[in-house]
């Protein structure tokens, strides 16, 4: 699953994390999961969806410099 160029630019821009999360939850996630109730969920499809979500959240939150080292924000810390 690839993101359109305009959305990639938006995620690279200096927009707030809140705005990026709103974009993800209101536009990107519904488009990706459109008609998912009709899908036959196999392990590979679930894995691809999880990887895609992680990729987007990494782009939104990025690494954090904490206690002298870089840390990636995990999904459990996001909420």
Distance of alpha carbon 15 from alpha carbon 9, whole angstroms: 10
Residue-wise pLDDT for 8-43, tens only, equals: 666 666 678 888 888 888 888 888 888 888 888 899
Burial of 30 (0-12, 13-18, 19+ CB in 10 A): exposed
The partner residues of 65 in beta bridges, in order of sequence, read: 70
pTM of the model: 0.64
Question: Would you state the structure tokens that stand for residue 27, as one six-digit string?
Answer: 């536009």
pLDDT band at 4 (very low <50, low <70, confident <90, very high): low
* Mean pLDDT, the chain, whole residue set: 78
- Whether 7 and 28 have beta carbons less than 8 Å apart is answered as yes
Q: Residue 61: its pLDDT value, please?
A: 79
Provide the residue ranges of all domains of the chain, joining segments of one domain with +. 5-78
């Amino acid at each position: 699953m690839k993101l359109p160029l305009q959305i990639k630019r938006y995620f690279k821009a200096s927009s707030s994390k809140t705005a990026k999360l709103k974009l993800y939850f209101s536009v990107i996630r519904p488009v990706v999961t459109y008609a998912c109730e009709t899908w036959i969920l196999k392990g590979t499809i679930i894995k691809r969806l999880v990887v895609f979500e992680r990729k987007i959240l990494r782009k939104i939150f990025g690494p954090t410099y904490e206690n002298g080292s870089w840390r990636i924000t995990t999904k459990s810390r996001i909420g």
